[in-house]
Structure 1
Amino acid sequence: MAKTANKKELILKSAYHVFKEKGLEDTRVSQIVKEAGIAQGTFYLYYNSKMDVLPDLAEQIISNYTQYLATYGNVKAGLEANLRLAIDRIFEVNQLDRTIPSIVYAGITRSGDIDKWQVIYRPLYDLVAKYLEFAKENGEIREDIDAIYFSEFVISLIESTARGMILFQHSSAEVEKYKEELLSFTLNAVSWEPAKVL
C-alpha cells in the first residue's frame, strides 16, 4: 500500500515539475514518466491522461488552503479576520507559484466531471461556511445569507482575483490594495440590508 502511494506521489511531483516547466499544452505523459523515473505503463495504472492528474494537483492546492485556515483561523476571531486570512493565503499561494494554480484551474474548465471538482473544494467551502454561520449567530452578518452558497461565491471571487493579479502583473502595493478592496466588498455583501428582487 505504501509503495502504491509513493508511486502516485512521485507521479504527482513529476507532473507538477513538468507542467510548471512546459505548461499544459506542451506537457506529455512521456515527459512526466521520464522525470519520475518510472515506466510509462506505471503512469497508466493511476491516470488515463495528463489531464487526469490535474484534479489531484488541485486537491493538493485546495488542501493547502483548508489546512492553513484550519490551523491559523479561529471561528471566534470573527468573519473579517478569517476572510483576511483566506484572502492572504490564496493570494500568497498564487503569487509564489504562478503557473500550477493557473494550469489546474484551466483543467477545471476542460473537465466534464464537475462533481469531482465539487468534492475537491467541499472541505474549503464547508470551513468558510462555518465562519459565516458563526457570524450569523453573533449578528455580524445578515440572517438571510445562505452560508453554503456564499462560501462558494467567496472562494471563487478570491481565487479569480488572485489569478488576475498574476495575469496583469500588478505591483505589490496594488496587490495589497486589491486584497483590502476584496475584503471590504465581501464584508459589505453580507452586511448590508438585502435588496428586494422584483
Structure 2
Amino acid sequence: MVVTIGNKKQDRRVQILAAAREVLAEKGLDATKISDIVKKAGVAQGTFYLYFETKNSLVRALEEEMLEVVFKEIGLIIDQYSSFDQAMAKCIEVAFYRMADYDDIFFIINNGCGIEADPLEWERLCAPYYTLMEGYILKWQEQGELDPILNPRITARLIVSLTEKAVQDYFIHPSEHTIDSYIANVVRFVLKALKP
C-alpha cells in the first residue's frame, strides 16, 4: 500500500498529539517540555515545530480534537430522535461522556481556553455546534415543542455554554455526585427552561 505525503503528515501530527497527551497527563502542563513530547513520539524536535508553533498551540489542538469528537458524534445522533426531549438528553449525555474520554488532561485543556487570547477562537471551535443546535431549536419551535419566543441563536449558545460549564464543574471540582447525576440535572434544567 502506498501512503501519500498528506496522510504521513496527518499521521505524524496525530502521533505527536497522542504522545503529548500521555506526557501532559503524567507531568502536567508546566513540567512538560517539548523535548519530552518528541522523545515520546519518536520524532525530531524540529518535526514538532512543523505542526505546532508552541506548547500552547498543542494544547489548543488537543482542545480542538476533543470538541471535534463531541460535535461529530452529536451531529451523527441528533437526527435519530423524533422529540426535542430525547435529542437534547442524548446530546448532553454525549457531550459529558466524550469529554470524559479526555479526563486525563481535561484540566489542562480547560485551562487551554485561558491560553487563547482571541475570543474568536472559541467561536470558531464551537460554530458548527451552535449552527447545528440553532437549526434544531428552530425545527422544534416550529413543531410546537419549544417556546416560540426564544431566540434560537441565543438559546443554542446558552445550551452549549451551560453544558460546557457543567462538564467543567464535574471534572475540575471534586464532587460526591456521579456523572449521570450531573447529566440528569443539566437535562432537566434545559428541558424545563425551554418548554412553552
Q: 3-state DSSP class of the match of 2:136?
A: helix
Matches within 5 A, 1:1-198: 1-74=6-79, 77-166=82-171, 167-172=173-178, 175-192=179-196
Quick one: distance in 2 between partners of 1:100 and 1:121? 20
Aligned residues: CA RMSD: 1.9
User: Would you say the 8 A contact 1:58–1:120 is kept in 2?
Assistant: no
TM-score, normalised to structure 1, is 0.86
Give the total of aligned pairs: 190
Q: 3-state DSSP class of the match of 2:30?
A: helix
Choose 180-189 or 73-82, whichever is displaced more.
73-82
The amino acid that maps onto 1:14 is A
User: Would you say the 8 A contact 1:10–1:36 is kept in 2?
Assistant: yes
Q: Deviations over 1:148-175 (max 9, x none)?
A: 2221221121122122222223343xx3
Displacement of 1:176: 2.7
Displacement of 1:95: 3.3
Distance 1:54 1:22, change over 3 A: same
Q: Deviations over 1:78-98 (max 9, x none)?
A: 221111112211222343432
Displacement of 1:128: 1.7
Quick one: distance in 1 between partners of 2:126 and 2:149? 23
Distance 1:38 1:47, change over 3 A: same
The amino acid that maps onto 1:189 is A
User: Would you say the 8 A contact 1:62–1:124 is kept in 2?
Assistant: no
Task: Provide the identity percentage.
Answer: 25
Q: 3-state DSSP class of the match of 1:91?
A: helix
Displacement of 1:179: 2.0
The amino acid that maps onto 1:115 is L
User: Would you say the 8 A contact 2:66–2:99 is kept in 1?
Assistant: no
Distance 1:146 1:54, change over 3 A: farther
Q: Which runs of 5 or more structure 1 residues have no equivalent in the other structure?
A: 193-198
Displacement of 1:138: 0.8
Q: Deviation above 3 Å: which 4+ runs of structure 1?
A: 94-97
The amino acid that maps onto 1:168 is P
Quick one: distance in 2 between partners of 1:75 and 1:139? 19
Q: Which runs of 5 or more structure 2 residues have no equivalent in the other structure?
A: 1-5
Displacement of 1:75: 6.8
